[in-house]
Amino acid sequence: MSEALSFELSRPDWPGPRLPEAGVQQPPAAESLPAHLKRRQAPLLPQISEPELMRHYGRLASLNYSISENFYPLGSCTMKYNPVANEAAAQLPGFAYLHPYQDESTTQGALELMHRLEAALCAVVGVDRVTLQPAAGAHGEWTALRMIQAYHQSRGERRDQVLVPDSAHGTNPASAALCGFQVVEVRSGADGRISVADLESKLNERVAALMLTNPNTLGLFEREILEVAEMVHATGAKLYYDGANLNALMGICRPGDMGFDAVHMNLHKTFTTPHGGGGPGAGPVGVKKDLEPFLPRPTIERRNGHYELDHERPQSIGRVRSFYGNFGMLVRAYTYILAMGGDGLAQASEDAVLAANYLRGRLEGVLDLPHEGPCMHEFVASARNLGEHGIKALDVAKGLLERGYYAPTIYFPLIVPEAVMVEPTETESKATLDAFAEAVQEVADLARSDPDRLHREPVSLPVGRLDEVAAARRPVLRWKPPSETAGESP
C-alpha cells in the first residue's frame, strides 16, 4: 500500500477552508502594503479538502510501526509504553493555552509543576539543581558542557579538551565540538568498559570533562566508575553523565553518587514522553552545587510560598532556548512520576534490567554475544556469526521488520562489528519477549537455509528495501510541480 503526496492530491481550483471575515474597515494587505514588501508568488501549498486531508494522514499513519502496535526494541532509545493519561494531562486547557509571557501571578500552577519536577529529578539522579530548558538529550549535553566551560573559565582555566569513549553516542563528540572543545577519544577495554589505563594517559590539565554513559552503550555498568570519577576530579576536570541509559538505574543507584557533576536526562526515554516520530523530547540537566551558578536562566524559585522565575543570575550561561523548556513534555513526565512514585520507578528499572537479561539469555547461541553478562537494561549482540552466509546486521533487522517487529538499533555502538543493540524495556510482557526471541531464531535459521530470501525481506511491508545510496547520490528532498521536475529526471 502506498499513499500519494498531499501535493499530488491538490487541485488548482480548490477554494480552501471557510474562515471568518475580518469584519473591519481596513483595506486588505494586498492594497495597503508597499509593493516591494509584498509576496510576488503564492506558495504552492496543497489545495485539498478536510476529508481528503484526514484520509491522507490516516493512511500515512497506517504505514508506520509504533509502540502502540509493535514491539520496538530499539536499543538506546527506551521505547517504553507512553501512558495515555500523560496525553490527557498535557492537553488540559490550563496548561495548553498558557502564554509564556503571562504574569507569574497567573501561572503559579505551571511554575509549581516545574519546581516539583525539578525536585523529583534531583532525587532520581542525585544532584542539587536541574534546568528543564533543554529540548532534547543532545541539547542537554551541550548545555552541560557550556556550564562546565563557564565553570573552568570562572576559575581562570582554559581547558579545551573533552574526553569521549569510543563507545559513545555521536551526539557526545558533536556537542563537545559545537561547544568549541577538542574531542579526544578514550578506548574501551576488552570487557566493554572504558579502559582506565587509556583514560589515565589522556587525562591532563587541558581536559575540561569526561563524558560517560553508565550503563554504557553496550548496556554494561562501568564497574570502576568510582575510580574513574576520582581520577577525573583529581585533574580538576568534570564528569558528565549522558542520561540516555538512566532507565537502568532508577532507585538502584544515582549518577550523582557516582561522582558525576552534570547529568542530562531524556524525559522522552526514561520518563515516557512520546517520541513523536523524532521528537519533541526534553533533556533536563542536573548539576552539583559548584556548577549551579552557571545554570541557564531563568531558574524557578519558591519564595515565601510563591513560585517565581529568577532571571537575575549573573554567572548564568544564559538561556539555551526560548522560554522555559518543552513544557508540554514536562507535564507528561511529571504526571508519569506522580503515578509511578519512588517505588514504581525503582520497580520499572528492575524490570527493565530483568527483561534485558532474560531476552539476552534467550538469544544466546542465536546471535553472537561479544561481552559477558549480566547486562543492565539493554545488551549488544552481533550478527557476526551469520557473516559466513553473507548475512549482516542489516539483514537481521529487515527480517525482524518482516515478522512484525521494529528492528533493534544496528551498527551502534561502533566498537562492535555488526552490532544489534536490543532494549526491551520494562513494559513488554514475557510473552512478547519470548515471541521476539523466536522471531530472531527464525531469522537466524533463514540466514542459513535461504540467505537470498532474507536479503529480499521485507516483502510484506508498504515498501521493500529502499536504495539509500541512490537516494543520497541524487537527493530529491522535496516535491516539485511536474513542470519543474520534468527537466531533471534522468
Partner 1 sequence: MPYLVHSPEDRQEMLADLGAGSIDDLLVDVPASLRLRRLDLAPGLSEMETMARVRELAAGNRVFDDRLTFRGGGVYRRFIPAAVGAVLSKPEFYTAYTPYQPEASQGTLQAIFEFQTLIAELTGLEIANASLYDGATAVAEAAMMAVVHTGRPEVLVAPYLHPEYLEVLRGYAQGRGFAVREGTDPTEDTAALVFQNPDFLGLIADGAQLVEVAHAAGALAVACVDPISLALLAAPGEYGGDIAVGEGQQLGLAPSYGGPHVGFIACRQELVRRLPGRLVGEAHDGQGRRGYVLTLTAREQHIRREKATSNICTNHSLCALAASVYMTYMGPHGLQHVADVSYRRAHALAAELAKLPEVELLYPERPFFNEFPVRMKNVLHRLRALEDKGILGGLPVGRWYSELADVATFCCTELNDPRALDQLLEALRRPA
Ligand X SMILES: Cc1ncc(COP(=O)(O)O)c(C=O)c1O
Residue 204 CA to residue 417 CA, distance in Å, equals 31
By a kind-dependent CB cut-off of 5 to 8 A, residue 76 interacts, out of its own copies, partner 1, ligand X, none, with ligand X
Of the residues 67, 122, 138, 391, which one makes contact with ligand X according to CB under 6 A: 138
Q: Which does 304 bind (CB under 5 to 8 A by kind): its own copies, ligand X, partner 1, none?
A: none
- Report which of 250, 254, 288, 255 is spatially closest to residue 271, judged by C-alpha positions: 250
What's the closest the beta carbon of residue 461 comes to ligand X, in angstroms?
A: 24
For residue 242, the partner it binds in partner 1, its own copies, ligand X, none, with Cβ less than 5 to 8 A by kind, is ligand X
| Cα–Cα distances in angstroms (integers) from residue 321 to residues 301, 326, 451, in the given order | 19, 10, 49
Residue type, 201: S
Q: 396 exposed, middle or buried (CB, 10 Å; 0-12, 13-18, 19+)? A: buried
**Among the residue ranges 18-26, 132-140, 362-370, 394-402, the one whose residues contact ligand X (CB under 6 A):** 132-140
> Taking the CB of residue 295, how many other CB atoms lie within 10 A of it?
24
- Binders of partner 1 among residues 279 to 338 (CB under 8 A) are 279-282, 317-329, 331, 334-338
Region near partner 1 per CB under 8 A, out of 53-61, 198-206, 284-292, 435-443? 53-61
Q: Is 213 an interacting residue with respect to partner 1 (CB under 8 A)?
A: no
CB nearer to its own copies: give 387 or 404: 404
Query: Which is nearest to 65 in space by CA: 269, 273, 277, 266?
Result: 277
Alpha-carbon span 90 to 46, nearest angstrom: 30
Q: In whole angstroms, how close is the CB of 66 to its own copies at the nearest point?
A: 8
Kindly state the number of chain residues that form the binding site for partner 1, as judged by CB under 8 A: 213
* Distance, first Cα to last Cα, the chain: 26
> Pick from 236, 344, 387, 451: which binds partner 1 (CB under 8 A)?
344
Contact set for its own copies, span 238-277 (CB under 8 A)? none
Nearer to partner 1, 167 or 388 (CB): 167
DSSP strand pairing (129-131 vs 285-287): antiparallel
Which cell is 350 given? 528492575
Which range touches ligand X (CB under 6 A), out of 1-9, 92-100, 134-142, 382-390?
A: 134-142
Judged by CB under 8 A, does residue 9 bind its own copies?
yes
Q: Which residues, 6 or more positions from 51, have their beta carbon under 8 angstroms from its beta carbon? A: none
394 neighbors 48 (Cβ within 8 angstroms): no
Name residues contacting partner 1, limited to 262-281 (CB under 8 A).
266, 268, 272, 274-281
| Shortest distance, position 428 Cβ to its own copies, whole Å | 8
Nearer to its own copies, 344 or 373 (CB): 344
Instruction: Please spell the DSSP secondary structure of 250-300, one letter per residue.
Output: TTT--HHHHT-SEEE--TTTTT----TTT------EEE-GGGGGGSPSPEE
Looking at residues 166 to 195 of the shown chain, list those that interact with ligand X (rule: CB under 6 A). Answer: 169, 171
Q: Which of 242, 378, 395, 402 binds ligand X (CB under 6 A)?
A: 242
How far apart (Å, rounded) are the C-alpha atoms in residues 337 and 83? 11
Specify whether the CB–CB gap between 200 and 222 falls below 8 A. Answer: no
Select 167 or 427, whichever has its Cβ closest to its own copies: 427
Which residues contact its own copies by CB under 8 A? 1, 9, 18, 49-52, 54-55, 58-59, 62, 68-69, 81, 83-84, 339, 404, 427-429, 431
